[in-house]
Amino acid sequence: MLPLTLSLSLSFLILANADPVHIPLTVRDVDSGSSDAVNAEHWNSVAEGLQLKYGIGNSNSRRMGRRASTADIPMTNQQTDASYFGTVNVGTPSQPFNVILDTGSSDLWLASSACSLCDSETPLYDLSKSSSAQNTNRPVSITYGSGQVRGTTVTDNVSIGPFSVSSQTLLAVNVVSSGLLDGTVSGILGLGFNTISSTRSTPLWQTLANNGDFSSPDMSFWMTRLRGTTNRQTEAPGGVMTLGGTNSTLFTGDVEFLPAVGQPSFWLLEMKTLTVNGKNVPISTGNNAVSAIDTGTTLIGGPGTDVKAFWAAVPGSNVVSDMPGFFSYPCSTDLNVGMSYGGKSWSINPKDMNIGRLSVGSSSCVGGIFDLSRGTNIASGGEGTPGWVVGATFLKNVYSVFRATNPPQIGFAQLSDAAGGSGMIPSSSSATELNPTATFAPSSSRRGSSSTIGAPGNTPSGSGNGSGSGSGSNGAVRSGRTVSSAPAAFAGAVVLLAGFVGGLGGF
């Protein structure tokens, strides 16, 4: 398997003095039902997908209406914190689609009306109903741990909240393996950098940033928690994604910003410390400490040595024989976990560390940190490959900000009481206020700043009319998705879904 290529040449633009945009999220329940036992088949599939995602183991912008400065776009929490999605509108006239909001990938793809194997519940993108759609007929295939998607690249008008991009490249998928999409989700919106784009296009957010639509180069997230509660809905209010700034009603104190490591690709930080119940866990340095901060992923995956050291510090923990890479621990034990990336140590709620009982009536529960290498001879943390993938298990506990300055930065802040404090859906009337259908009005609660944004407008090397084989000509492994031109064999890989969608790589 070839290494992940992270090289990138950036050009930075001075932003116009616009105002930010807020975007609320929604969760899906993977362990719903009368039993609280863990769904081993699901989590095994999810683990394999995430491993593959990261290569481990194998336009012109225009505004709709007035220049909107702030938009709270609702997110939906799907399958009890498994994934978080928002809505984009595509085409002329526009067609709304729910997509996983994924900082661990950089492409927009949608199941299309040509998809014969798609679930009847999946809303499908119909090119023939859009006067602005242009089929560029470049085939791209993406393989997952439990299946694949295949389609052709298209350009069409795409909007999210008050922002719109004309001729945005997306993948219209006509082949989707069974179980890869769930419920009302139609695809994925990648929020990473263009260097890991399998369609060799500039991501929607970068196009908007390049054109000065953002007053501040920020994408910010508040993600709700359903795990550990009686509110086991398939889809529930999931929080808020904010484009172009932060929403000060959702956090308290200052945002602690840390510079991202490496060249812009994934959103990467270096893990400095890991603790469990007051004990310091010895962890690796260098490549193995590099962590992808991934809103599209459910759990936390790490290098085998570090994960074993973590569970060795938990009395009564054991390897789960039929779930490679996973560990169990006594359900009576609360795991108080802390993570630091060079500044504060951020706590993880014990509820997020418990993904379910080993079996019905068992006194052992399965933990939310697993071995990303999963016992294979290919370890995480190789050159250019994240050693850790840090998903919602951590991100539900903080207000997170992805800032595309030069160099990029990732920030964390303590959740406000209005946001539930620990990521819970507020029980007060503020829950309605913080989960609007769509709110675009600027207010004093929105924070924006004028700064340069690291959002390169040039497509990666090798873009053009060539077939989809990832960024660059060497088919470098970038995640668990294999991208290829038809009819050639799969070559290279691409980051796609970070959130759970069957086996789509969400952890």
Q: How many CA atoms lie within 13 A of 76 on its CB side?
A: 20
Query: Where do runs of H (alpha helix) occur along 313-471?
Result: 350-353, 392-395, 430-434
| Alpha-carbon gap, residue 448 to 438, rounded angstroms | 19
Chain centroid offset of residue 246 CA? 18
To the nearest 10°, the Cα dihedral for 73, 150, 29, 376?
A: -120
Residue 280 phi, psi dihedral angles, 5° rounding: -75, 130
β-bridge mates for residue 415, sequence order: 251
Rounded Cα gap, residues 363 and 267, in angstroms: 37
CA distance 21 to 68: 7
Distance from C-alpha of 127 to C-alpha of 310, rounded to nearest angstrom: 49
Structure tokens at 121: 């519940």
Residue 27 to residues 185, 299, 358, 423, Cα–Cα distance (Å): 11, 14, 22, 12
102 tagged catalytic? yes
The first and second tokens of residue 341, run together, are: 């990336």
d(CA 100, CA 106): 12
Say which amino acid occupies 450.
S
Q: In whole angstroms, what is the distance from residue 108 CA to residue 155 CA?
A: 11
Options 102, 156, 213, 218, the catalytic residue? 102
Sheet holding 337-340, edge to edge: 279-280, 273-276, 337-340, 345-348
Catalytic option among 29, 81, 294, 371: 294
Residue type, 294: D
Query: Rounded to whole angstroms, how far apart are CA atoms 452 and 262?
Result: 19
Helix (H) or strand (E) segment spanning residue 40? helix 40-53
- Which residues are marked as active site? 102, 294
